[in-house]
Structure 1
Amino acid sequence: MSRSASSLVELLRQARERRAPLREDPHTTAFRLVNGEPDGVPDVTVDVFEHLHVVSLYRDFTPDEERALLEAVESAWAPRSVYLKRRPKEARHLANVAKEQLAPEQAERGEPVESLVALENGLRFLIRPGQGLSVGLYLDMRDARAWLAGQVRGLTVLNLFSYTCGFGVAATAGGAKRVLNVDASRRVLDWGEENARLNGQPVDRYDYVAGDVFEWLGRLARKGETFDVVVADPPSFATTRTSRFSAARDSAQLAEAAARVVAPGGRLVACCNLATLEPRRFEAMVTEGVSRAKRKGGGMLPLGPSPVDFPTSPSHPAALKVRVLELP
C-alpha cells in the first residue's frame, strides 16, 4: 500500500473513532461516518445505515481515484455493503438521463441490499440504497427531528416537503395529535406510510397528501385551517407541474405561505440545505416572508446537524440551516 493510500485509510479510521458516541448508541444506527473536508477527505461523504455504507462523491473522480477510495474504505472498515452515489454540481440536471451512472442500483462492493431498517433515536426507518441519489433519510436532520418530538405532545403538525415523513414519524412518536404530510411525490409518501407502520403508528391516507406544496398551503389558508407547528423543509430546487422552487430565490415566499397557516402562538420551523445561501441571508428571507404574511416572528431558535458526525471547518460550514420562529 502506498503512503498516500495508507494515510487515507488512517483518515477513515480516525473519522470512525470520532463517531464513537454514535457507534455506541444502541438507539441510533444511522449517522454520517465521513463529512468531507473537516474529516480530511474533501469531496467525499459516507453515511452508514446498520451495516450499509453509502459513499457520495461531490466532484468528478477518475476511475482510479474511485477505486483507490473504495479500496481504502474496505481496508479501514471492512463494510459488508457499499453503495456509490456520484453527485457533481450538475447532478440534479442529469438525474433523469444518467441515473444509473449517478446512482447505480447495484452495490459497488460487498453484498446487495434491497432494503433495510435503520434506527434513529429509537425510531425505525426503511432505507433503500438502490433507489436513486437519496436513500430514504437525511441524517443531518436527526437532532432537529429529536427536538420536534419533544415539543409537539397534543399539538397539530404540518410537515411540508415531507419526503419519507421523517419529521412526521418523529412528531407522532412525540405525541402529536395530528400530522399532515405533504409532498409532490406519491411514491415517497407511500414510503412514509411504511415508516409509520414500522413504528407501530396508525396511518390515515388523508394525512399523506400528494401535491404541490404552495397549492396546498393556499388551499389550507382559504379554508382557515391552521397548525400548531409547521415544518418547511424544502429541497434546494424543486419542480412540479405547476411551480418551480429555488431556495435562493423563493425562501421568503415559502415562509410567507407557511406562516399563514401557523396557529396563533404556534411555531414555524424553516429549513434550508443550500450551502451557498448564508445563514443571515436565509434568516432575513424567513423574517421577510413572515412579515409579508402580517405575522410577527418572536425569537429565532437555531437548530442544525450534530457536530459529532457533521463536523465543520472555516472553509466547510454546515450547509443545513434550521430556524424556529414563534408566531404570536
Structure 2
Amino acid sequence: MGTLASSLVETLRASRGRRGPLLGDARTTAWRVVNAEADGVPDVTADVFGDVYVISLYRDFTPDEEETLLDAAVAAWAPRSLYLKRRPREARVLANVAKESLAPEAPARGEAVESFTALENGLTFLIRPAQGLSVGLYLDMRDTRAWLLSQARGLTVLNLFSYTCAFGVVAMAGGAKRALNLDASRRVLEWGEENARLNGQTVDRYDYVAGDVFDWLKRLAKKGESFDIVISDPPSFSTTRSGRFSAARDYARLAEAAARVVSPGGQLVACCNHAGLAARRFEAMVLEGVSQAGRQGKSLGSLAPSALDFPPPPGQEPALKVHRVQVR
C-alpha cells in the first residue's frame, strides 16, 4: 500500500476513534464515522450501522480515487459490508434516471445485505442499504429524536415529511398519546409501519398518511385538529402538488401552514438541512411564518446534531438546523 493510501487508512481509523463514547454504547449502533473535511476527508461522509458502512461521495471521484478510498475503508474498519452512494450536486436531478450509478444495489465491498436492524437510544430501526441514496435513518437527527423521547409523554405529535417515521416511533416510545406521520410516499410509510412493529408498537393506518403535506395541513386546520408538537423536516428541494418547494426560499410558507395546527402553547420543531441557509436567517423565516399564521411565536432555542460524530467544518456552522418555537 502506497504512502498516500496508508495515510488515508490512518485518517479513517483516527476518525472512528474520535467517536469513543459511541463505540462502547450498546444502545446505539448507528452513527457517523466520517464527516467530510471536519474529519480530514473532504467530500466524503461515512455512516456505520453495526458492521455495515455506507460511504457517500459529494464530488465526482475518479475510479482510481474510489478504489483507493474503498480499500482504505476496508483496511481501517474491517466492515461486513460497504455500500457506496454518489451524491454530486446534480444528484437530485439524476436520481430517477441514473439511480444504479448513484446508488448501486450491490455492495462496493463485502457481502450483500438486503436489510437489517440498527439501534438508536435503545430503539430499533430497519435499514436497507441498497434501497437508494437514503437507507432508512438520518443520523444527524439522533439528538433531536432523543429530545422528543424525553418530551412526548401524554402529548400528540404531528410528524411532517416523516420518511420512515423515526420521529413517530420515538414519540410513541416516549409515551405520546398519538403520532400522526405524513409523507408523499406510501412506500416509506409502510417502512415506518415496520419500524413501529419492530418496537412493539400497534400500527393504526390512520396515523400513516400518504399525500402532499401542504394539502394535509390545510385539511387538518379546516377540521380544527391540532397537535402539541409539530415536527417539520422537509427535503431541501421537492416538487409537490402545490408547486416546487425550496427550503431556503419557502420555509416561512411551510412554517405558516404548520403553525395553524399547533395547539396553543405547543411547539413547532422546524428542521432544515440546507447548508446554504444561515441559522439566523432560518430562525427568522420560521418566526415570520408563525406570525403570518396569526399566531405568536417564542423562540425556545435550537437543537443540533451531535458534535461527537457530526463535527462542523472548521469555521462553519452545522448544515442541519433545528429550531424550536412555542406557538401561542
User: TM-score under structure 1 normalisation?
Assistant: 0.99
Name the counterpart of 1:75.
75
Query: Residues 38 and 316 of structure 1 are in contact (CA less than 8 Å); yes or no, is this contact kept in structure 2?
Result: no
Q: Deviation of residue 35 (structure 1)? A: 0.3
Name the counterpart of 2:258.
258
In structure 2, runs of 5+ residues without a counterpart are none
Distance 1:114 1:315 in 2: 39
Query: Residues 38 and 314 of structure 2 are in contact (CA less than 8 Å); yes or no, is this contact kept in structure 1?
Result: no
Map of 1:196-207 to 2, 5 A cutoff?
196-207=196-207
Distance 1:256 1:128 in 2: 34
Name the counterpart of 1:151.
151
CA deviation map 1:150-191 (0-9, x unaligned): 111001000000000010000000000000000000000000
Map of 1:95-244 to 2, 5 A cutoff?
95-244=95-244
Distance 2:224 2:166 in 1: 26
Name the counterpart of 1:275.
275
4+ runs deviating over 6 angstroms: none
Distance 1:223 1:183 in 2: 19
In structure 1, runs of 5+ residues without a counterpart are none
Query: Residues 32 and 45 of structure 2 are in contact (CA less than 8 Å); yes or no, is this contact kept in structure 1?
Result: yes
Distance 1:178 1:186, change over 3 A: same
Distance 2:292 2:75 in 1: 55
CA deviation map 1:212-271 (0-9, x unaligned): 000000000111110011000001011134432110111000000000000001000000
Distance 2:301 2:152 in 1: 16
Query: Residues 37 and 316 of structure 1 are in contact (CA less than 8 Å); yes or no, is this contact kept in structure 2?
Result: no
Distance 2:314 2:100 in 1: 35
Name the counterpart of 1:39.
39
**How many residue pairs end up in the alignment?**
328
Distance 2:316 2:155 in 1: 37
Name the counterpart of 1:14.
14
CA deviation map 1:108-156 (0-9, x unaligned): 1001000000000000000001110000000000000010111110010
Distance 1:128 1:316 in 2: 32
User: TM-score under structure 2 normalisation?
Assistant: 0.99
CA deviation map 1:256-311 (0-9, x unaligned): 00000000010000000000011011111101101101111112310010011001
Map of 1:285-296 to 2, 5 A cutoff?
285-296=285-296
Name the counterpart of 2:60.
60
Distance 2:230 2:321 in 1: 16
Q: Which amino acid is 1:305 matched to?
A: P
Q: Deviation of residue 316 (structure 1)? A: 4.6
Name the counterpart of 1:321.
321
Q: Deviation of residue 315 (structure 1)? A: 4.7
Distance 1:220 1:17 in 2: 47
Query: Residues 81 and 112 of structure 1 are in contact (CA less than 8 Å); yes or no, is this contact kept in structure 2?
Result: yes
Name the counterpart of 1:248.
248
Q: Which amino acid is 1:196 matched to?
A: A
Identity, in percent, stands at 72
Distance 1:17 1:4 in 2: 20
